[in-house]
């Protein structure tokens, strides 16, 4: 099992007006921190709102891998009228992914108030099918991420959608934090659907902090995932409660020693 550090959430701040997202400078610092603490791979969210060429340069300078980036215009697949925009965003994202030598591109599906669930389901599947040829041609994998507050409320429906799309270039991002919040039973769900999972995210529950604390036993969870033969990325995506360097080292040691 490979592991990586999500540097985006690591530097997110909560201000009086809401979340303050990481800028390019913070992501560059995150790359430096990952290298210093022994991580071989990082991931982050939006590439198009940052100086992504500077991030590519830093990635090459430090010899890091980029395990995943998020697609531009990725969230509105439930609305069929936005599919062309999503296709164009994916084309641009694939070109950026080539520069990062990144093989995983994250997509999401937000709930659309004006679109019912049955129609949303159909639109999301059709939207992914429009993206599939681009992914197959580029040799990248689209990673569908269900998150709390998005269209999805469980794991059964997105796994069913992947069967409808029927492409090895579309997998699920199984976020343990989000699925513990939505439905629990994370190990049985992962074991049952391992072939459909292309990436895993992890954070402590219920507050999304270090995997070394909280209501989930990550020592057990990681051991079980390793036993399954999972060979893709296990990414920690969390808000640290202590010095960042100390925090990411402790999480890394838990992953390696489990």
Catalytic residue positions? 145, 237
Structure tokens at 208: 């999304």
Exposed e or buried b per residue across 199-231, where buried means at least 16 C-beta atoms within 10 angstroms of its C-beta: bbbbbbbeeebbbeebebebeebbebbeeeebe
Question: By the 8 A CB rule, do 211 and 202 touch?
Answer: yes
DSSP assignments along 133-181, one per residue: HHHHHHT-EEEE---TTSS-SSSHHHHHHHHHH--TTEEEEEEHHHHHH
DSSP assignments along 186-250, one per residue: HHHHHHHTGGGEEEEEE--TTT---TTSSSS-HHHHHHHHHHTT--SEEEE----SS-HHHHHHH
Q: How far apart are CA 47 and CA 95, in angstroms?
A: 11
Exposed e or buried b per residue across 31-45, where buried means at least 16 C-beta atoms within 10 angstroms of its C-beta: bebbbebebebbbbb
**Collapsing DSSP states into helix, strand and coil, what is residue 70?**
strand
Structure tokens at 148: 């709390």
């Amino acid at each position: 099992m490979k592991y990586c550090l999500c540097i985006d959430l690591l530097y997110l701040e909560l201000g009086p007006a809401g979340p303050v997202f990481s800028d390019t400078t913070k992501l560059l610092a995150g790359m430096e921190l990952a290298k210093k603490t022994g991580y071989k791979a990082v991931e982050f969210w939006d590439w198009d709102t940052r100086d992504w060429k500077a991030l590519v340069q830093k990635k090459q300078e430090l010899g890091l891998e980029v395990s995943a980036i998020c697609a531009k215009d990725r969230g509105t697949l439930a609305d069929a009228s936005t599919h062309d925009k999503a296709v164009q965003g994916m084309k641009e994202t694939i070109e950026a992914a080539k520069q990062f030598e990144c093989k995983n591109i994250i997509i999401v599906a937000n709930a659309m108030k004006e679109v019912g669930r049955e129609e949303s389901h159909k639109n999301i599947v059709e939207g992914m099918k429009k993206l599939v040829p681009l992914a197959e041609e580029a040799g990248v994998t689209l990673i569908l991420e269900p998150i709390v507050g998005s269209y999805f409320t469980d794991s059964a429906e997105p796994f069913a959608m992947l069967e409808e799309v029927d492409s090895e270039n579309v997998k699920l991002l199984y976020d343990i934090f989000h699925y513990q919040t939505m439905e629990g039973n994370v190990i049985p769900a992962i074991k049952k659907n391992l072939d459909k999972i292309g990436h895993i995210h992890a954070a402590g529950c219920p507050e999304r902090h270090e995997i070394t604390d909280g209501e989930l036993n990550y020592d057990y969870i990681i051991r079980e995932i390793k036993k399954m033969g999972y060979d893709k990325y296990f990414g920690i995506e969390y808000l640290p409660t202590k010095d960042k360097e100390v925090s990411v080292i402790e999480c890394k040691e838990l992953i390696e020693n489990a």
